[in-house]
Amino acid sequence: MFNTYFESTRQKLLAGFSITEIIEVREKVFEDAEVGDSILFFAENSNNAKENVLKYFKVNNIYPEFLLQASYTQSQENLLSKQGSKFFITGIQLNIETEPLSSFCHVYNGLKPRQCQTHSIIR
């Protein structure tokens, strides 16, 4: 989610701060924590943020062990130049030209919000 939403916030952070590390914790941060999926963010104000190299770690948890799933290293200048200003580049990209569904059909789910399980597409 952190790499998906809040594009304008990511742009401001990448442009104005040297971000040394971001640690995305997929499970509980600490053994007795009730909440998972947390972000630890290490940064400082900088006039040269684009020159910084950002390290992004995805981990299962950090205590009692630092259980690494994946890590990424990228210059902030490169991240700012990519569409969406993602904190890590996923490598997923469309190879064909696309258009929004709303340009040629209507999408209805027929259910209340949060109960959506199927969709109907009507031309």
Does a structural domain hold residue 74? yes
Does a structural domain hold residue 21? yes
Distance between CA atoms of residues 1 and 51, nearest Å = 26
Does a structural domain hold residue 104? no
Does a structural domain hold residue 118? no
| 36, 64, 109 from 122: Cα distances, Å | 39, 52, 11
Does a structural domain hold residue 12? yes
Does a structural domain hold residue 111? no
Parent domain of 7: 1-90
Provide the domain count of the chain. Answer: 1
pLDDT by residue (tens digit) across 12-43? 999 999 999 998 888 876 667 667 678 888 99
User: What stretch of H or E contains 68?
Assistant: strand 68-75
pTM of the predicted protein model: 0.66
With a cut of 50, say whether residue 116 has pLDDT above it: no
pLDDT by residue (tens digit) across 36-63? 678 888 999 989 999 999 999 998 877 7
